Amino acid sequence: MALNKVEICGVNTAKLPLLSNEEKEALFERIKQGDKAARELYIKGNLRLVLSVIKRFGSSNENADDLFQIGCIGLMKAIDNFDSTLNVKFSTYAVPMIIGEIRRYLRDNNSIRVSRSLRDTAYKAIYAREGYLKKNLKEPTINEIAEEIGIAKEDIVYAMDAIQTPMSLYDPVYTEGGDTLYVMDQISDKKNREENWVEVIALNEAVKKLSERERHIIELRFYQGKTQMEVAEEIQISQAQVSRLEKNALKTLRSYLRDV
C-alpha cells in the first residue's frame, strides 16, 4: 500500500491546512449552528489525522485511496458527534473513531469465514454469560465463563472476536454515576505496544496526583470492576460520596493527561 504519495483521492497532502486551537474552536461553534462551510474547512483542517491513522494499516493490501476515503467517513462522524464541553481534545476523540471505521471496513471486506466450532464456542460463552448475569446481577469475568463451560479462556476470547459484529469504538457499554464506559475503554491494541507503554506510564503518573482515598476508589472501580455501591460499602461512606470523589479523581486524571 503506497502511503508516501503526495496526492490521495485528489487531495494534495502537502498543502493541507493547519488550524490553530482558536480557529478550531471558532469553526466548531459555527458548525454547531449549521454552518456547512465551517464544517468543510474543519474537515480539511483535520485530514492529517486521517493520514496518520492509515499509516498504521501499512501492512494491509488495501489501496491507500480507499482507506483514506473510509478514514474521512470516520472523521466526519467524529465531527458530527463531538461534544466540546467534555474538555477532551478533538484528536483524542477522532482518532479512535477513524481507526474503528477503517477496521470495520477491513472486516466487512474480509473473505475469511468463521468456522462452526468457533461459533459453537462463542454461543456457549454468550449463553453462560447471560445465565451468570441473571443469577448474580453482575458481569462475569472471562475466567468465570471459562470455568462454567469448560473451555480455555484464550479460545473463548478468540471465538468471541471472530463472530463480533463491527461497532463504533464510541458505542456505550454502560453508564453509572454519570460516567459512561465506552467500547474503546475495554479494548487494547497489541500492535502498538510502545504507544500503550507510554500511555501506561502517563496514567501511573497521573494517578499519583490523586489523594489516597481517590486512588483507592479508582482502583476498586476501574481495576477491580466494583460498583459505586460496593465501593461505598467497603470503605464505609455513602454512594453519593463515592460518586463525588470518583468524579473529582477522573477530572484530575483527564486534566493531567490532557496536558502531557
How does pLDDT run across 59-93, given as a tens digit for each residue? 667 788 888 888 899 899 888 888 877 777 888 88
Residue type, 169: L
Indicate the DSSP class of residue 186.
G
| Interaxial angle between packed helices 228-235 and 239-259, expressed in degrees from 0 to 180 and rounded to the nearest 10 | 110
Paired with 172 in beta bridges are 182
- At residue 62, the pLDDT reads 76
Contacts 24+ apart (CB under 8 A), 182-185: 184/96, 184/100
C-alpha distances (whole Å) from 130 to each of 21, 142, 225 are: 46, 13, 18
| Three cell numbers, residue 70 | 473510509
pLDDT at 213 over 60: yes
Ramachandran area for residue 112 (φ above 0: left; ψ -120 to 50: alpha; else beta): beta
pLDDT at 111 over 70: no
Return the percentage of the chain with pLDDT > 90, whole number.
Answer: 2
Q: Note the pLDDT tens digit of each residue in 143-202.
A: 899 999 999 888 888 788 766 655 555 555 555 555 555 555 555 444 444 445 455 666
Mean pLDDT on 110-137? 77
Instruction: Please report the sign of the dihedral spanned by the C-alpha atoms of residue 260, residue 227, residue 144, residue 120.
Output: negative
Average pLDDT of the chain to the nearest whole number: 77
Task: Return the CA Rg of the chain.
Answer: 21
Beta strands in the chain (DSSP E): 7-8, 11-12, 172-176, 179-182
pLDDT at 246 over 80: yes
The pairing of beta strand 7-8 with beta strand 172-176: unpaired
pLDDT band with cut points at 50, 70 and 90 for residue 113 = low
User: Cβ(128)–Cβ(142) under 8 Å?
Assistant: no
Indicate the DSSP class of residue 166.
P
C-alpha distances (whole Å) from 20 to each of 81, 89, 119, 216, 256 are: 21, 13, 49, 39, 21
